[in-house]
């Protein structure tokens, strides 16, 4: 939740902190908006000006390498999206997930169904 007495700078710093915390929950190969990374309880009370400033702060942090993310293509006209800077196949084999431990199960087609 945001405090209405926060300055724009404090709001941007809080947004950066929330985005950084969200990284550990991100799924490789998925794209996320700033709104998703910051969470609705933070994002919803913000006016458009503050939403833009938080988005700009996160974009700057990503471009400088301060947030371990990479930009993905834009979701909407002005909506930046971000993803982890690696794919599942590029992950370190010492981690709990790597390309060798993922199994894709395709549903069986029923006879007579397309």
* Ordered structural domains, the chain, with CATH: 8-101 (1.10.10)
| Ramachandran region, residue 65 (left: φ > 0; alpha: ψ -120 to 50; beta: rest) | left
The order of strands in the sheet holding 81-83 is 32-33, 81-83, 70-72
Strand partners, 70: 83
Phi/psi at 60 (nearest 5 deg)?
Answer: -65, -45
Q: What is the token pair recorded at 59?
A: 């974009």
pLDDT at site 79: 76
pLDDT of 19 over the 70 cut: yes
Asked whether the predicted pLDDT for residue 95 surpasses 80, the reply is: no
Average pLDDT of the chain? 79
Averaged over 69-88, what is the pLDDT?
A: 77
What's the whole-number mean pLDDT along residues 1-27?
Answer: 89
Q: How far apart are CA 89 and CA 11, in angstroms?
A: 36
In the chain, which ranges are continuous DSSP H helix? 8-22, 34-38, 40-43, 48-64
pLDDT at 51 over 60: yes
- DSSP per position, 62-83: HHHTSSS-EEE--SSSS--EEE
Q: Is the pLDDT of residue 48 over 70?
A: yes
């Amino acid at each position: 939740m945001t405090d209405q007495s926060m300055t724009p700078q404090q709001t941007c710093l809080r947004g950066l902190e929330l985005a950084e915390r969200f990284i550990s929950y991100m799924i490789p190969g998925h794209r996320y908006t700033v709104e998703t990374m910051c969470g609705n309880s933070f994002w919803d009370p913000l006016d458009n000006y503050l939403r833009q400033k938080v988005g700009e702060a996160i974009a700057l942090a990503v471009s400088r390498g301060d947030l371990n993310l990479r930009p993905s293509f834009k979701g909407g006209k002005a909506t930046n999206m971000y993803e982890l800077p690696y794919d599942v196949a590029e992950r370190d084999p010492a981690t709990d997930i790597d390309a060798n431990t993922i199994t894709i199960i395709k549903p069986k087609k029923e006879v007579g169904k397309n």
